[in-house]
Amino acid sequence: MSIYEKLKNLGITIPPVAMPAAAYVPYVLTGNLVFLSGHIARKDGKPLVAQFGKDITIEEGQAAARSNAIELLGTLHVATGGDLNRVKRVVKVMSLVNSTGDFTEQHLVTNGASELFGQVLGENGRHAHSAFGVAQIPMGACVEIELVAELD
């Protein structure tokens, strides 16, 4: 089954590239690697403002991270010239999780994105992953995720 058939079966439409909120670009291609800028969690087009350990559950965070992954796929789609089949491998996912000092489950929040990459890209979606708890994320968002992928 192709990547696009998997997306369709999951009910996912590839979104347009989110426009940067500051002086940076959505992605940078260098050699056969593409580096995607961080994407913040959004709900109804606005930042999903929350802090783990205070006012959002792990399950809600996983859904937010999954939504981030869909946005990242939209940016990756553009970076590949409109062909996600060029993704040889998702190399690294790095996640910043807006957390209280005693919240320690950042890795579980980030799994919402990691699992979606596996569902859509199969073995090519398996990646190294880091998840950090931080005191704040731009615009108060609950999670921000960036990605590095290798292209054919």
pLDDT in tens, 103-127: 999 999 999 999 999 999 999 999 9
pLDDT in tens, 45-79: 899 999 999 999 999 999 999 999 999 999 999 99
Q: How far is CA 105 from CA 62, 94, 100, 109, in A?
A: 11, 14, 11, 7
Give the predicted TM-score (pTM) of the model: 0.95
H or E segment and range at residue 113: helix 106-121
Nearest C-alpha neighbor of 85 from the set 95, 96, 77, 93:
77
**Summary mean pLDDT of the chain:** 96
Neighbours of 152 (CB within 10 A): 10
Name residue, tokens 């980030």.
110
The domains of the chain, with CATH numbers, are 3-19+27-151 (3.30.1330.40)
